[in-house]
Structure 1
Amino acid sequence: MITWQEFQQELFKYLNLADIDLDLIKKAFNFAYQAHLGQKRKSGEDYFNHCARTALNLAFLKSDAQIISAGLLHDVLEDTPTKEEDLKKNFGEEITQLVKNVSKLGHYRYLTQDQEQAMNLVNLILAISQDLRVAIIKLADRLDNMRTLEFLPPEKIKKIALETRDIFVPLAAKLGIYVWATELDELSFKFLEPEKYEWVKSIFLPRIEKGQKYLAEILKTTEENLIKNEIKIHQLNYRIKTFSSIYKKLVKKNFDPELIFDLFGIRVIVDKVEECYLSLGIIHSLFYPLESEFDDYISKPKPNGYRSLHTVVLTPYEFFVEFQIRTLEMHNFNEFGTASYFSYSQSKTTKTYQKNLSIFTSPEDKKFLEEIKKIKETAQISSNLIKSLKLEFLQEKIYVLTPKGKIIELVKGATPIDFAYKIHTDIGNHAAGARVNGKIVPLDYELNNGDVVEIIVNKNKTPSVDWLNFVKTKEAKKRIKAFLRKKIQISKPLEFLVLIKTKNEPLLFQGILNFLKEKNIEIIDSRNTNKEGLQIIKIKVKLADKKEAETLAFNLKNKFKEILEVTVDVV
């Protein structure tokens, strides 16, 4: 079992604590140590080690002594004989309330899967609306649990990983704790999609190992030139893209590994904004920049407040590296987001903190939270609610404009159809086309921040069942289903076109057809042609939805190594 000396040594890696704060943390350490004495985890280790690691996760975010203490104590009410009165007597009302609220999040753990996830999510949202620190402690707890998940039975592993992916990853991102969101997402991918995880690993691990041999030299060259130009460097380090992030990008790039330019990322943390742009110029003088892969999020921040310069360059070692350049202030917000708000004691004097409200919650989100409170108190929560909550509350927002300049808030990934239904049901029901920034775009076009969106209305046009596969908002799905319910069956399979490009392989066409038949996929039509030295295979199939189409594309690429490019799109 971890000792106080070992814990304190780790603690000091992240924080310089006043004596009064260290005394509080030590008191919580000893209390939790005694409370969990003799308890073991599935791995055989002492249970208290989990509590200590949870607290150290919070220290990593530079949390204050109250939060770290609550992290140490987060399971004492749930998993030990400790009474609430004892906790309050030793640590006061504030820490006790934090521990109580964290414990509440696990009350529905053993319900059926849909209800369990719905209830947990509702409790998480309620906790966020009352005190953000509760959600941060719960995330620290979940992070340690995911890091040690392999010791649980397979069915438990899948259950926890699914919940983590669907709820805790978006929650961490919503709070702006991207360093945790990234790791939780990677761990979820590893446990939920082991075949895909290993496939990505088999392709990119050799590239990573090769690139790592030269990254130190690239860092050294960059540092020497920045110092030479009198730029104050706070941090200069590299990160490697996670396998889950690589896979998501591969889906967008038709599974072409050569289109992944940001496998390696170097972060340059400087003192001032002007030094960001000066550093950019220096880096471009050292390495060849890829102009199409440059983004300025300093002059145009993301809606969640993220600020940084991003540029991709070709190194002398024949691989690409993405440089991310930002100030220390930007970096702290980008990495730790809302959690960094609680790192400073003076924040407790602000009105927002005293009201226990999220500093990032919009009026719409607050209204949504009130609706969920009412639902929780009066009715059973359905899987439809969990789905809409995941899509609308936890996802990042974007902001687009009507032609008259009215700002419309939508979830990230929203389309012109989502926009149309946000304006009015009739506009959505008769949307025939869309213009974005003056140009005609398809109705499944993904909108971006600042887009000016105009819907082309035709009274003879009505919703298509295909719209359900790309709209993102609960409102749009509800309106489309309401219209279609009178005319067609929602569950009718959709037609997809499988487009494959490969070098001339005479036996490949039949091999792919046999593979589809083995998978019980209905083939409507198939064609095999040659064009400009390439073999073009087109196969029309019936699939349930876009998720199944994505999986089919992956399976084909994984099964047939000869395939250069594969797409599966709705006909």
Structure 2
Amino acid sequence: MMRQYELVERVQSYKPDANEALLNKAYVYAMQKHGQQKRASGDPYISHPLEVAAILTDMHLDESTIAVALLHDTIEDTTATRAEIDELFGEDIGRLVEGLTKIKKLDLVTKKAKQAENLRKLLLAISDDVRVLLVKLADRLHNMRTLDHMPPEKRARISEETMDIYAPLAGRMGMQDMREELEELSFRHINPEAYETVTKRLDELSTRNEGLVKKIENELRDLLVANGLATAFVKGRQKKPYSVFRKMQSKSLSFEQLSDVYGFRIIVEDIPSCYRALGIVHTRWRVVPGRFKDYISTPKQNDYRSLHTTIVGPSRQRIELQIRTNRMHEIAEFGIAAHTLYKDGAASGDETGARESNAYAWLRHTIEALAEGDSPEEFLEHTKLELFQDQVFCFSPKGKLIALPRGATPIDFAYAVHTNIGDTCVGAKINGRIMPLVTRLANGDEVEIIRSGVQVPPAAWEEIVVTGKARSAIRRATRLAIRKQYAGLGYRILERTFTRSGKTFSRDGMKPILHRLGQKDVEDAIAAVGRGELSSLDVLRAVYPDHQDERVSVKPPSGDDGWFNVPSASGMIFKIPGAAKTSLDGEGAGAHLPIRGISGNLSVHFSPTGAVPGDRIVGIVEEGSGITIYPIQSPALQRFDEQPNRWIDVRWDLDEANKSRFMSRIMVNTLNEPGSLAKLAQTVAGLDVNIRSLNTVRVAADFTELQLDVEVWDLRQLNQLLLQLSEMESVATVRRLYE
């Protein structure tokens, strides 16, 4: 375990004027608070914050950040409070320590939801001060280094969380060394067999090629020196096991097929020397086509800058080269940690100063998503999607650079520019040509979004897009559209219920009783009525507690006034009026509403045995699933006799220009003889009827009962089918089935 004085010496080695008193005070306080606590390894708990602080000294961070590392577990695991830390160390350090404290008491159903809420809290704290991220990553790194002392099930869970969130987060912030170590440690626990196999093969390769890396280093260095780059530094290394395994998986290659296991970095003094070194190398050795990337002129979003190329180099070995300056190398290794002193002017005027905030761009976009109120699970998915590393760079018509994950579409591009642009997107031009919205974008594409003010993003887009921001925005728009549809239905249900009771319904009248209904606002309450989750009679009684359940006769509306569109999953177009159950002998005639049209969100579906145009039909509001349409003969309607507020009178309103078939279920009792089924199918097909499904219900010695789901245009065609089937010699009986 590191000693207190060793930690102070490490900080003073790169910052001689460091506040030694602050470090000693933080150490003593943490030691006292953690007291006799032990880690799973049996070591004193104080060893953990000390090692976390030591990791941060490798990044040359200031003494305030080191103090936060020493204190980072005190609020979470000891009796320490935020107020106490504020008083002893100042509000700045107290705020950072609280940002690193997990949420202890969460009323959440799943561990995934708890994980998401803790991540949400962490990201909010990071957006306020990036030092929270640096301490958190160092904390996770030390925990991963000592993970062997944890139970196997915890090792797997922590490793998966590290691989999914913390390693990509480190990479997204440009901290490549930390990312690689986190990936290696996670890989060892998530897939130990693969880790052992790949490590063994790499060790064998290293033994077989002993001296090869050094030979290539010397040959590259001699070439650069001979061409005037005397100060160039060349360093080679073998790729890490997880990097090799990931490439084998993504490219479907065996270990023997890998040709670029070795990578080399060339460090030069300035940017012109980077391009000069590239020219020297390309002139000497053959380039592998399609493997050159210029991240100097187009840096990654995490501020990473380098030239990448792959050559068939010395000894005919295929090798990857990264060419960069010392400053670029510092940022590539330590990422955002290389910028932590910028407030003191240390980074002002350097070659990356103008781009210093790039690494925060993703974080700001993520924080925007937090304000949209996504569920914890959706937020976690959104964040994981945004952590993808492999990117393409596209341009708007005005030249704005947009970085997107590989595989992104114009829809992702539209949402990356602005949520409103994504919501109103109807088409796209890629490099001046109109292309499908499912087109995958490539590096350098210029994308122009075509918009429409009446567009609503289809729910199916969620399966097309790859960015978390786009997926989250589409879900949000879908939810709002569904709520709007259900609210329209709920309003008419409430209006009808209030009118039949001699009362007048108004939104303002619902405001005082929302708490009694368990709803946040009036629109939520009305939508809940439309979904069948809240009874219109309960709303009536809440608004008028003295109400007696007596119906008042009202004149039914004439014509189509007040009817509104409701979407159906089947493609049928419907219209609906209100939600009062009318008697079946004609009372309330004219009060039924036609249901017209399917725009896509509010679910209108048929009973399992179906209904066809020409049937007298009725709608039943189903809790959470919209409206189910039943033929009036359906025995299932008896279940709702005591729930009149769930009945909706509906009628067919067909669009002749877009006719649809409708399903109905029939039972056929046919002779059990060869060819009878073929004759039946021939009769059905001859009437232009489609058989959706056919099931054998019962087989006797002489007869077979067949259940057919058939698709017909209307009741007339269905009756004609029943008549012709009954006249067949091989058919004993045929009847229509109702649920």
TM over 0.5: yes
Q: Distance in 1 between matches of 2:390 and 2:107?
A: 27
Q: Distance in 1 between matches of 2:568 and 2:10?
A: 59
Q: Contact 1:105–1:124 (CA<8 Å) still a contact in 2?
A: no
2:62 aligns with 64
1:268 aligns with 266
Task: Report how far residue 369 of structure 1 moved.
Answer: 2.0
Give the 3-state SS of the residue equivalent to 1:39 in structure 2. coil
Task: Report how far residue 270 of structure 1 moved.
Answer: 1.6
> Which of 232, 236, 239 in structure 2 is aligned with 1:238?
236
Task: Report how far residue 167 of structure 1 moved.
Answer: 1.9
TM-score for the superposition, normalised by structure 1:
0.69
Deviations 1:308-361 (A, max 9, x none): 1122233444532212111111112222222211135615999xxxxxxx9347
> Which of 441, 453, 462 in structure 2 is aligned with 1:447?
441
Larger CA deviation: 448-457 vs 335-344: 448-457
Q: Distance in 1 between matches of 2:414 and 2:569?
A: 19
Do structure 1's residue 165 and structure 2's residue 248 form an aligned pair? no
Q: Distance in 1 between matches of 2:201 and 2:41?
A: 32
2:547 aligns with none
1:149 aligns with 147
2:381 aligns with 387
Q: Distance in 2 between matches of 1:113 and 1:91?
A: 34
Task: Report how far residue 51 of structure 1 moved.
Answer: 1.2
Give the 3-state SS of the residue equivalent to 1:47 in structure 2. coil
Instruction: Give the 3 Å change call, closer, same or farther, for CA 108–441 of structure 1 in structure 2.
Output: same
Deviations 1:112-166 (A, max 9, x none): 3211221122012101221111111111101111111121111211221222122
What are the residue-to-residue correspondences of 1:387-536 with 2, within 5 Å?
Answer: 387-392=381-386, 399-401=393-395, 404-405=397-398, 407=400, 409=402, 411-416=404-409, 418-419=411-412, 422=415, 423-424=421-422, 436-437=430-431, 446-453=440-447, 468=463, 471-476=466-471, 479=474, 486=569
Instruction: Give the 3 Å change call, closer, same or farther, for CA 443–209 of structure 1 in structure 2.
Output: farther
> Which of 49, 52, 55 in structure 1 is aligned with 2:53?
55
- Percent identity over paired residues: 33
Task: Report how far residue 417 of structure 1 moved.
Answer: 5.6
Q: Contact 2:172–2:359 (CA<8 Å) still a contact in 1?
A: no
Q: Distance in 2 between matches of 1:46 and 1:39?
A: 6
What are the residue-to-residue correspondences of 1:223-302 with 2, within 5 Å?
Answer: 223-231=221-229, 233=231, 235-257=233-255, 260-284=258-282, 287-302=285-300
Task: Report how far residue 281 of structure 1 moved.
Answer: 3.6
Give the 3-state SS of the residue equivalent to 2:211 in structure 1. helix
Q: Contact 1:401–1:453 (CA<8 Å) still a contact in 2?
A: yes
1:539 aligns with none
Do structure 1's residue 46 and structure 2's residue 44 form an aligned pair? yes
Deviations 1:446-476 (A, max 9, x none): 424431247899xxxx989798277444535
Q: Which runs of 5+ in 2 are unaligned?
A: 349-355, 416-420, 452-456, 482-566, 572-739
Q: Contact 1:171–1:394 (CA<8 Å) still a contact in 2?
A: no
Task: Report how far residue 407 of structure 1 moved.
Answer: 4.5
Q: Aligned residues, how many?
A: 468
Q: Distance in 2 between matches of 1:111 and 1:4?
A: 42
2:548 aligns with none
Q: Contact 2:117–2:376 (CA<8 Å) still a contact in 1?
A: no
Q: Contact 1:399–1:407 (CA<8 Å) still a contact in 2?
A: no
Q: Distance in 1 between matches of 2:366 and 2:161?
A: 21
Q: Contact 1:261–1:322 (CA<8 Å) still a contact in 2?
A: no
Q: Distance in 1 between matches of 2:17 and 2:402?
A: 47
Instruction: Give the 3 Å change call, closer, same or farther, for CA 100–288 of structure 1 in structure 2.
Output: same
Q: Distance in 2 between matches of 1:45 and 1:329?
A: 39
Instruction: Give the 3 Å change call, closer, same or farther, for CA 258–386 of structure 1 in structure 2.
Output: same
Q: Distance in 2 between matches of 1:17 and 1:162?
A: 37
Do structure 1's residue 220 and structure 2's residue 218 form an aligned pair? yes
Q: Distance in 2 between matches of 1:79 and 1:463?
A: 47
2:85 aligns with 87
Q: Contact 1:420–1:427 (CA<8 Å) still a contact in 2?
A: no
Larger relative contact order (CA 8 Å, sep ≥ 6): 1
Task: Report how far residue 365 of structure 1 moved.
Answer: 5.8
2:701 aligns with none
Q: Distance in 1 between matches of 2:163 and 2:175?
A: 15
Give the 3-state SS of the residue equivalent to 1:176 in structure 2. coil
Q: Distance in 1 between matches of 2:292 and 2:372?
A: 46
Instruction: Give the 3 Å change call, closer, same or farther, for CA 244–445 of structure 1 in structure 2.
Output: farther
Q: Distance in 1 between matches of 2:99 and 2:331?
A: 26
2:110 aligns with 112
Give the 3-state SS of the residue equivalent to 1:103 in structure 2. coil
Instruction: Give the 3 Å change call, closer, same or farther, for CA 347–19 of structure 1 in structure 2.
Output: closer
Please tell me the residue identity of whatever aligns with 1:218: I
Q: Is the radius of gyration larger for structure 1 or structure 2?
A: 2
Q: Which runs of 5+ in 1 are unaligned?
A: 351-357, 489-571
Please tell me the residue identity of whatever aligns with 1:296: D
Larger CA deviation: 253-262 vs 161-170: 253-262
Q: Contact 1:415–1:470 (CA<8 Å) still a contact in 2?
A: yes
Higher helix share: 1
TM-score for the superposition, normalised by structure 2:
0.55
Task: Report how far residue 370 of structure 1 moved.
Answer: 5.1
Task: Report how far residue 103 of structure 1 moved.
Answer: 1.9
